[in-house]
C-alpha cells in the first residue's frame, strides 16, 4: 500500500498547503506553517507552541497565568484539584450544562449540588445559587452556555462573603463581554475548551485554564503535568542540567498528577487560531445576526435573553421553542426535520439535565443522593434549539438563516 507521503509528491503537498491557506475555512491562516514548524524543529528549545499559546493568552486577556491542557474536561479536573476539595465538600453546578462539570467534581471525591437556572438566559444565577449554599460549599462552577456571559458580579460577591471559590467554565464563551469586561476572568479560575467546534479549535481537542492566583496556577500546572516537582505557575522548559536529570538519584515528582498536557501540534494549531480569534468571533456573531433576523417576527421561537450589560460570543444562536406543538401539528422534532429537508443544518437540542444522564444517575444512586428536580432546567432543556454559528463563509450562514425564515413563514401561513 502506498503511504501518505508517497501519494503526495512535493508539488502536490505544496498545492495542498496553499489551498488550505486560501480557503475561507476553518484553518486558513498560519496553522499549516506552525504545524510543519513543530514537525521539523520540535527538538529546538525555542519551538514551544505550548509556551507561545500560554503567553499569548495571558497577554491578550490580561491574566497572570495560563496553563494549556488537552481538553476542557481535563482543565475542569485540574481546576477542581487545585481547590483541594475533600470528600464532604460541596460544589454548586448548574443542572443545565455538560456532564464534565460534574465529572470533574466527582473525580475529586466531592459532592455536586445541582442548581436551577434562569429560564430566559439559561444560566446559573445569584438567586438560585443562594438557595444552595451551605457551610460545606467550597466552590461554584458557573457555565456561560452558548457564549452568553454569566451575571458574575453578584455571584462573586456572595462567594467571597462565604469563602467560596468561583470557577468559570467558559468552554463555550470566548470574548463574551460582561459589564465592559471579558467574560471568564472575574472568578478564581477560568476554563476554556479548544475542542473542534469551539471558538478556537485545536483541530481535535485542547483547552486552557487561567487564573491570577499563583498558588492555584502552580497546583493546576503540576496536576496537569504529571506532578513534576520543578513545575511552577509559569510554563516553559526547565533549566535543570541534563546530568542532574539523568542521575539515578534524581527524584522528579512531588504531586500525584495526570498527563493532561497539550500536545505541541495542537498548540501550534490553537496558537494560530488565537492569533486570528477576533476574526473567528466576528463571523460567529455575524452568523448569529442572520438567524436573529430570521426569527424576529416568529411568535413561537424566542432567543436566549441577552441582558443589557452583556455581549454574546455566540458559540451557537440559541432559541426556545415555546410550545409543544405549533399549529397543533409541528413538534420540536418536526421543525428539526423540516429545516434539514429544506437544506438547513441539523441544530442541536440542549444536553439532557446533567443529573438525568445514566452515568451520573448511577453515581448519584450509589452515593445516596436525594431525588433531584430542577423546574426551569427541565422545562427549557426540552425547548432549546441551538443553531450553528461556526460558518466561516457568511453567505452560507445567510442562506441557512433564510431557509429558517422561509420555514417559519410557511408554518405560520399553513
Query: Which runs of E-coded beta strand occur in 160-315?
Result: 165-169, 177-178, 181-182, 189-193, 207-211, 301-303, 310-311
Q: Which stretch binds ligand PLP (CB under 6 A): 71-79, 257-265, 331-339, 383-391?
A: 71-79
Among residues 89, 118, 151, 169, the one that binds ligand PLP under rule CB under 6 A: 169
- Which residue sits closest to ligand PLP, CB atoms considered? 72
Cα 408 to Cα 231, 348, 411, 412: the distances in Å are 56, 18, 5, 6
Write a three-state SS string for 108-126: CCCEEEEECCCCCCCCCCH
Which of 105, 124, 167, 171 lies at the binding interface for ligand PLP (CB under 6 A)?
Answer: 171
User: According to the binding rule CB under 6 A, does residue 172 interact with ligand PLP?
Assistant: yes
Q: How far is the CB of 395 from ligand PLP (least distance, A)?
A: 28
Q: Give the footprint of ligand PLP on residues 123-152 (CB under 6 A).
A: 143
For 86-97, give one letter per residue: b (16+ CB within 10 A) or e.
Answer: eeebbbbbbbbb
Q: How many Cβ atoms sit within 10 Å of the Cβ of residue 180?
A: 7
What's the closest the beta carbon of residue 398 comes to ligand PLP, in angstroms?
26
Determine the Cα–Cα distance for residues 184 and 207; give it in Å rounded to an integer.
14
Minimum distance between the CB of residue 155 and ligand PLP, rounded to whole angstroms?
Answer: 16
Rounded to a whole number of angstroms, the minimum distance from the CB of residue 48 to ligand PLP is 22
**How far apart, in Å, are the Cα atoms of 142 and each of 81, 95, 128, 279?**
17, 11, 12, 26
Q: Is 167 in the site for ligand PLP (CB under 6 A)?
A: no
Minimum distance from residue 204 beta carbon to ligand PLP (Å): 10
72 binds ligand PLP (CB under 6 A): yes
Q: How far apart are CA 119 and CA 124, in angstroms?
A: 10
State yes or no: residue 353 binds ligand PLP (CB under 6 A).
no
User: Cβ of 154: how many Cβ atoms within 10 Å?
Assistant: 13
Is residue 168 within 8 A of residue 183, CB to CB? The reply is yes
Question: In the Cβ-directed half-sphere of 252, how many Cα atoms lie within 13 Å?
Answer: 12
Give the cell for residue 339: 429545516
Q: How far is the CB of 306 from ligand PLP (least distance, A)?
A: 18
Looking at the Cβ atoms of 172 and 389, the one nearer to ligand PLP is 172
Q: Rounded to the nearest whole angstrom, what is the least distance from the CB of residue 251 to ligand PLP in the complex? A: 32
- Of 74 and 137, the one with the shorter C-beta distance to ligand PLP is 74
Q: Are 297 and 303 in contact (CB under 8 A)?
A: no
Considering beta carbons, is residue 54 or 169 the nearer one to ligand PLP? 169
Q: Three cell numbers at 193? A: 475548551
- For 401, other C-beta atoms within 10 Å of its C-beta total 23
Identified binder of ligand PLP from the candidate list 37, 120, 153, 195, rule CB under 6 A? 195
Please identify, using beta-carbon distances, which residue of 203 and 404 lies nearer to ligand PLP.
203
Give me the least distance between CB of 390 and ligand PLP, in Å please: 13
Element of type H or E holding 388? strand 384-388
Does residue 207 bind ligand PLP (CB under 6 A)? yes
The 74-113 site mask, x for binding ligand PLP (CB under 6 A), equals -----------------------xx-x-------------
**Radius of gyration of the chain from its Cα atoms, rounded to whole angstroms:** 23
Which member of 73, 183, 210, 277 binds ligand PLP (CB under 6 A)? 73
CB of 131 to ligand PLP, least distance (A): 22
Instruction: Record the cell numbers describing residue 52, joined without a space.
Output: 507561545
**Cross-strand bridge partners of residue 112:** 91
Residue with smaller CB distance to ligand PLP, 193 or 304: 193
Among 193, 210, 386, 389, binds ligand PLP (CB under 6 A): 193
Q: Which three cell numbers stand for residue 264?
A: 505541541
Q: Which is nearer to ligand PLP, 195 or 378 (CB)?
A: 195
Half-sphere exposure of 61 (CA within 13 A, CB side): 30
Q: Which is nearer to ligand PLP, 97 or 384 (CB)?
A: 97
- Number of chain positions touching ligand PLP (CB under 6 A): 14
Summarize as ranges the residues that interact with ligand PLP (CB under 6 A). Answer: 71-73, 97-98, 100, 143, 169, 171-172, 193, 195, 205, 207
Amino acid at each position: 500500500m502506498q503511504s501518505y507521503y508517497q501519494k503526495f509528491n512535493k508539488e502536490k503537498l505544496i498545492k495542498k498547503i496553499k489551498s488550505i491557506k486560501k480557503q475561507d475555512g476553518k484553518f486558513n491562516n498560519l496553522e499549516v506553517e506552525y504545524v510543519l514548524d513543530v514537525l521539523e524543529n520540535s527538538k529546538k528549545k525555542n519551538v514551544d507552541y505550548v509556551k507561545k499559546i500560554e503567553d499569548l493568552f495571558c497577554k491578550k486577556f490580561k491574566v497572570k497565568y495560563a496553563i494549556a491542557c488537552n481538553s476542557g474536561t481535563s482543565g475542569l479536573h485540574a481546576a477542581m484539584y487545585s481547590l483541594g476539595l475533600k470528600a464532604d465538600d460541596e460544589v454548586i453546578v448548574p443542572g443545565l450544562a455538560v456532564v464534565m462539570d460534574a465529572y470533574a467534581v466527582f473525580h475529586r471525591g466531592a459532592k455536586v449540588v445541582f442548581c436551577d437556572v434562569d429560564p430566559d438566559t439559561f444560566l446559573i444565577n445569584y438567586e438560585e445559587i443562594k438557595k444552595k449554599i451551605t457551610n460545606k460549599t467550597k466552590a461554584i462552577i458557573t457555565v456561560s452556555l452558548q457564549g452568553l456571559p454569566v451575571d458574575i458580579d453578584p455571584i462573586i460577591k456572595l462567594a467571597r462573603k462565604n469563602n467560596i471559590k468561583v470557577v468559570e467554565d467558559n468552554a463555550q464563551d470566548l470574548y463574551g463581554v460582561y459589564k465592559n469586561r471579558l467574560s471568564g476572568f472575574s472568578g478564581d479560575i477560568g476554563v476554556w475548551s479548544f475542542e473542534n467546534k469551539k471558538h478556537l479549535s485545536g483541530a481535535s481537542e485542547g483547552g486552557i485554564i487561567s487564573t491570577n492566583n499563583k498558588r492555584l496556577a502552580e497546583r493546576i500546572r503540576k496536576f496537569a503535568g504529571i506532578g513534576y516537582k520543578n513545575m511552577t505557575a509559569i510554563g516553559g522548559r526547565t533549566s535543570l542540567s541534563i546530568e542532574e536529570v539523568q542521575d539515578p538519584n534524581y527524584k522528579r515528582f512531588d504531586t500525584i498528577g495526570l498527563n493532561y498536557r497539550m500536545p505541541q501540534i495542537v498548540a501550534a494549531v490553537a496558537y494560530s487560531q488565537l492569533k486570528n480569534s477576533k476574526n473567528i468571533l466576528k463571523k460567529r456573531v455575524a452568523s448569529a445576526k442572520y438567524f436573529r433576523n430570521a426569527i424576529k417576527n416568529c411568535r413561537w421561537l424566542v432567543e436566549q435573553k441577552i441582558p443589557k450589560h452583556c455581549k454574546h460570543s455566540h458559540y451557537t444562536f440559541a432559541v426556545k421553542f415555546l410550545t409543544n406543538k405549533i399549529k397543533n401539528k409541528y413538534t420540536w422534532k418536526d421543525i428539526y426535520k423540516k429545516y434539514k429537508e429544506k437544506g438547513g443544518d441539523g441544530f442541536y437540542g440542549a444536553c439532557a439535565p446533567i443529573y438525568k444522564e445514566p452515568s451520573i444517575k448511577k453515581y448519584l444512586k450509589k452515593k445516596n443522593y436525594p431525588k433531584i428536580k430542577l423546574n426551569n432546567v427541565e422545562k427549557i432543556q426540552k425547548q432549546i434549539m441551538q443553531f450553528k454559528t461556526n460558518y466561516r463563509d457568511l453567505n452560507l450562514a445567510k442562506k441557512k438563516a433564510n431557509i429558517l425564515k422561509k420555514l417559519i413563514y410557511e408554518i405560520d401561513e399553513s
